[in-house]
Amino acid sequence: MERLIAKNPTARHNYTIMSTFEAGIVLSGTEIKSIRNGRVNLKDTYVNIKNGEAFIYGMHISPYEFGNIFNKDPLRNRKLLLHRKEINKLSGQMKEKSISLVPICLYFQGGKVKLEIGIGKGKKLYDKREDMAKKDAQRKMERALKGNF
């Protein structure tokens, strides 16, 4: 059973997501408690591969209120848990096709925190406008079918 914690609001707006991966995250105890309270932000985050390991940068986890000396830096880089084959595949694609690894959402799965990572290609401004026009047309069509103008 999955329970959504946080979503990256700009992921699908700024990138065309081609495929997704699921990764675990290395966290401390106070960070988990803060995440359970929903105090996490994925807005300006990105994933990078460095020395054969995947890391997430810019993920803000607010300090736990009762954590005192055990709290960690809210913006520290956190290691992602992926299989070696997945890391090799992702790093190869990043070098070849000029793609980005974008965190899409953070959720609980069986008591563990998981991160959904998307392989994305940046959208141009006209692509964003086209997507917005399609969504707007879809909304108008649904309203017309309901009878609410």
Does 116 have pLDDT greater than 90? yes
Q: What does the mean pLDDT of the chain come to?
A: 86
Distance in Å from the first CA to the final CA of the chain: 38
pTM above threshold 0.85: no
Among 9, 45, 17, which residue's Cα sits nearest to residue 121? 17
- The per-residue pLDDT for range 35-91, each reduced to its tens digit, is 888 889 888 898 999 998 999 998 888 887 776 776 777 778 889 999 999 999 888
Dist. CA 141–CA 144, nearest whole Å: 5
Average pLDDT score over residue span 14-22: 88
Domains of the chain, CATH where assigned: 2-123 (2.40.280.10)
